[in-house]
Structure 1
Amino acid sequence: MNATQSLKQLLLTIQTDRKYYIALEKLLLKQRQYVIRYQSAKLLAVNDHLTELYQALSQTTMERIALLKELKVAPNKEGLQTLFNRLPEQYREHVTALWADLEQRVKNCQQQNQRNGQLLSMQKDILTSSFNYQEEFIYAG
């Protein structure tokens, strides 16, 4: 693959990840709703979709790292910025905005995932304390 093809493929991975993160945001919100409503069957289905998305994101990340290495650029944020700065100005602004949008979506998903984890932890604590209290009450005496 030549440098132009590698660059085009790299941009496709960014666009693909953006689509994945849009879907991930929606699924994480559904996950929260199903946890709150104790809808375990729907929660399991959403979790299956989340697992598929995480696997797809992992694959595009690995592909992007390989492409950056092919382009002789460090596979990190600074390397991407260096690459974007090499682009003609008419493309640079669009690509930089696309990457910034992806970064924001990643951050939003991380925050939502953390909130969902906290909710699950709180539910577990409530259930654990409820069952422990009942056991002590039942067996006391």
Structure 2
Amino acid sequence: MRMRTLAAAGITGAALITTLSGGVATAGTPGPAQNADVTSVTASCYKLTARETVNIRAHRKLNATVNGTLPKGKSGCGDDDTGTGLEGQSYRLCGKSNNSWVHLTYGRVSGWIPAYCTTQWNPRP
């Protein structure tokens, strides 16, 4: 009899949690890792084409670790739909002085490149 009472209490508790949370009761499912140096990733991919060959860096700094290179004329998948990038270290590259950086993925490499070293954001179909 005691086993039935405990089972019923467990089911009732799960139903209460589901009702209060407005969804399915789950056991502490971890969310995506948070990284303050990465913009929020959306389902969209924005085509970023390099005006010049640029290093893809781990952080928005010129002396940050180089993860790879985006060759001139090649395109990567950017995840910033604002068209402005995020503020980082100032640079004078690709004929411009600025401090705007964009996060992108090129092949299996992802990281940051100076925004002014890419063409304008163009959503991929």
Q: Which has the higher contact order (CA 8 A, sep 6+)?
A: 1
Q: By percentage of residues, which structure has more strand? A: 2
Which structure would you say has the larger Rg? 2
Q: By percentage of residues, which structure has more helix? A: 1
TM over 0.5: no
> TM-score, structure 1 length as denominator?
0.25
